Structure 1
């Protein structure tokens, strides 16, 4: 009601200009939503007919002339878990330090500039650095572990910046009230600040997962192109394996099997949707619990 009364007080020309801007903003939002929906629908319509139980439950066999992407599915899940287990404590801890503990504004600006610079570096450069440092210098060879560590460096800026911005949205009165009641700073952060900013942390995780499952250039140099089952989680982390995005590249660009590539893309899209939905649900439950 307040907005309507304010609009009525504006001159007709201002009201027309305001209405035009609102329509443009709504149109931009609608176009964005339609583009995303059209992209998802196109991939699913092209890919789902090729998704069979044999495709997702077996591995590739030259003797039987069959194609299976189970190793790539497992490799994708393994590398997501490994990367998030390492990057979440680092990213959230760094954001908490920058927001709550750092007293030097110059240091904060330097770290923020560094994270923004890391976020803008092309992934192919991460792949080359990861190959030289993790695969050769640390002698991890071409493995999922080397790929996961490379992805940690890639997605760390995303976790830090989203968590930091979410922490900044917590009202200062929350901090002052908790400290005024005698709570320690860490207790205040753990029980008030982090639960209040859990939505931003979950958003950072979703963005990070999207970057992980969609990455192929860096993993070509670090994780490898293997399409065979590598055993359990710990055995797989030491071996070379292709994720779904790398397998998609192999089938589309190297072998010209576009129908299989669309099937892989559909599976990858469904995995991303399921993980994003699960992260949202987990974030809500965690927020209520904390």
Structure 2
């Protein structure tokens, strides 16, 4: 079991380097990469198939807490974080993030990968659509923003993602410039991840089938491997944002989501 954990740790070091770059560049916590990667890696490390999806979601959210937090710090230094926007989204995303983890515990295990694949496909289509339509021009009122944040939180937690793939196009559609949208998404993503992670930890406590070195559904060898490298590479992704035009960022975002959705449906 120790050899399996060491192997998984090494693989997650490589995974984390990619996750950090994407987190900084696209404002995502990396869950769209981490979840499918862990679904493939965990069985090879001896994790029971019935636990794989829950562990993948929980560990992904735990890694996003640090990855998105690091990305948000770098974007703050670059002047890309608007705290008034983050404050308006915060109540909804926190409650929604916790709610998503509760729903995931109630859904049959075999349905979770399908739900994840559908969510990713919807995100890809939504982003492509946003490239063809004009902006609405302003943020909705407080109630509308809280409700929108709640939906983002539930979907994000249920898919083990930080919500950047929802928050970025949502903010951009409402007139927020792309770089600021990415910076705000990084900070709100950390909030979603904290709420979702806590929900999965509580749900997994007492499950004797979980491997050692687990806290609830969070598997520590995978988590440490991911965050050790992702927190280093996220600064390079954040720096790249300031050098790329908005249109290029949107194209990268849309292609990235399409690729992940296809891999999940095929795999």
TM over 0.5: no
Higher RCO, 1 vs 2 (CA within 8 Å, ≥6 residues apart):
2
TM-score, normalised relative to structure 2? 0.33
Say which one has the larger Rg.
1
